[in-house]
Amino acid sequence: MIIAMIIGLLGGIILGFTFNISYPTEYSFYITMGLLAAIDSILGAARSHLEEKYNNLIFISGFITNALLAGVLAYLGDRLGVPLYYAAILVFGGRLFQNIAVIRRLLIDKYFIKKDSNINKK
């Protein structure tokens, strides 16, 4: 699962730099908010996979819903003149750091448990 996510991420980066795809600069802010939400969903999926709780339907629905919600908040805030995008930045940014911390802890636990079990076998 994690290998597939890394391969998908690398493939997306390569495609992004290979093809000359452009969009109007007016949309860059909305796309950035959507990307922040999408990255949060991907890290949440990696975390749930490491915790052995991964569900593909939850990942896909969360991915789409979070990206759309972030874009809509940015759009509505832009139209109303209120920086509603701060809500998306705070929520998704906070969850990014939280998910990375949990993923780090889970990987360290798995590494040291594996290392300790190999030492005990000898």
Is 36 domain-assigned? Answer: yes
* C-alpha pair distances (Å), 62 with each of 20, 43, 105, 118: 29, 12, 23, 38
Domain count, the chain: 1
Residue 19 DSSP class: S
Q: Which domain holds residue 36?
A: 28-121
Is 14 domain-assigned? Answer: no
Is 21 domain-assigned? Answer: no
pLDDT in tens, the chain (122 residues): 667 777 887 888 898 889 887 888 888 888 888 888 888 988 999 899 889 999 989 989 988 898 888 888 888 888 998 888 888 889 889 999 999 999 999 999 888 777 666 666 65
Is 66 domain-assigned? Answer: yes
Is 67 domain-assigned? Answer: yes
Residue 83 DSSP class: -
